[in-house]
Amino acid sequence: MKAGHNSLSGLNSWLRMFRTGLVLLRYDALLPKETAHLLPPVPRAFAGLLRSMFARKTNLRPGERYAIALQQLGPAFIKLGQVLSTRGDIFGQQFIIDLAHLKDNLPPFPQSVAEASVVESLGKPVDAIFSHFGDVLGSASIAQAHEAVLLDGRKVAVKILRPDIETVIASDIDMMVLAASMVVFFFPSTRRLEPVAFVDTVAQSLLLELDLRLEASACDEIGKIINTEPWMSAPKVVWHQVSRRVLVTEWAQGTPLSRPEALTLPGLAHKELADNLIRAFLSQALDHGAFHADLHEGNLFVSAPAQITAIDFGIIGRLRPKERRYLAEMLWGFLRRDYKRVAEVHFEAGYVPRHHNVDSFAQALRAVGEPVLGQKATEVSMGRLLTQLFEITAQFDMHLRPELVLLQKTMVSVEGVARRIYPEHDLWEAARPVVKDWISRELSPVVQTRRIVEKLISRLRTDDDEYNAPANREAVELAALKMVAAQGRTFGLIALVVSVISLAVIIWLAVR
């Protein structure tokens, strides 16, 4: 039975992939005519043949064609369109305008179906929970939201999963896994981009979105992080009205950033708003290791002068402490134009294979960083920058890191949204205070010394007889001093001396 099921699933994946190709060809969104001139002669001729056989004759713009195709293909492809729609600097402003409705303006399912889902999921009639249950506010790829008022008078948003969305997502995932495997088989050079691992990461995030209890938990966890910072806010969960298919949260204040009028609000401070968005994301990722990983315009509300409220916590990214340190050190290195240190961090993290030369990689990073740092966004070609980065990653055999997929995807989206808010936005300057504070707090000599001392004291107290012996104590203190010296060199001689003296005093007091 299981083998038959797997065979059927495999057949469905092949059929779905075939249908996907036909839909993209039908709307000239697979090998579009606008990019045909970039192809070599033979592929260009082949693309032209396919276009003449399958593409509809239309005067639609590329963005309009992509929007129709991605909407027909379902949630996974709509997510892709949402990411693309943040990058007007790469694809052009008209392109992102044409894709804009993918953010929260998809065809809704009927009100009666929504109310029936509430009754089934929460186990009570709608009027036993809400004094008012309104029409659809926004309809996205996986769920739609309704405005409502609880019996206690609180205004809330009610999120409801689309009917049969689980089956649709499962089919999307099976098809993406098949497509990734085919890409690796037919194009071995793509293995360093880890297509299968990439799809696995995307699949995991999509599956988590299908249980709104998990989103409620993420909203509560990340919301507490966000609401303690000055950059962004998040609505609270109404916990006693949460189920697998229904989620109720308090009302998010502001105007959805996806609406055209959002950036024309009176008193809006565009630069500060863009800075707050970047700093909120980096603060979540660096300071807490957990971040909202779906920060497109449809999930952001704004109000004057520079308030941002985030909703929809279905996708959460997480970074372990070592990954947070690598990220912070790389960003800080770029901000200081210390390309050698940035290169060293890549090697320490294992992002670049050891057989390559650190200095050569630093040279390549300098070629990327210097044209960008200190420049206004309007003066930087993101298309050219991404091409250069891709060439460098290929030259140095850098593989895609599955644990960083959501981070990289969110960074692309967030920077694109910030550029739309304030076209001259400088990502690096916006990042500076958050990264600088993290470096000062986590990598200062005092902090490093305290960690060493805590480890040593723990060892001393574990076995007093062994470590209180004078010879052993002297050896431990000497080793500790050497560690402190190694950690403190880059921070200056004065800080080093203070750290060493503090260490000696604390250890002496601990073992008296």
Active-site option among 89, 287, 294, 312: 294
Q: Classify the C-alpha dihedral 48-51-57-58 as positive or negative.
A: negative
> Encoding tokens for residue 439?
């470096």
CA within 13 Å, CB half, 457: 15
Residue 24: phi and psi, rounded to 5, are: -65, -40
According to DSSP, residue 228 is labeled T
Q: Is 294 annotated as catalytic?
A: yes
- The 10 Å Cβ neighbour count of residue 131 is 12
> Encoding tokens for residue 252?
């998010």
The helix-helix angle for 339-349 and 321-335 (nearest 10°) equals 160
Residue 503: strand, helix, or coil? helix
Distance of alpha carbon 49 from alpha carbon 32, whole angstroms = 12
The C-alpha angle 29, 35, 38, rounded to 5 degrees, equals 140
> Encoding tokens for residue 348?
């320490």
C-alpha R_g of the chain: 26
Distance of alpha carbon 58 from alpha carbon 51, whole angstroms = 12
Distance of alpha carbon 100 from alpha carbon 67, whole angstroms = 8
Residue 310: strand, helix, or coil? strand
Selection from 91, 84, 292, 509 nearest residue 300 by Cα: 292
- The 10 Å Cβ neighbour count of residue 164 is 8
The residues that are catalytic are 294
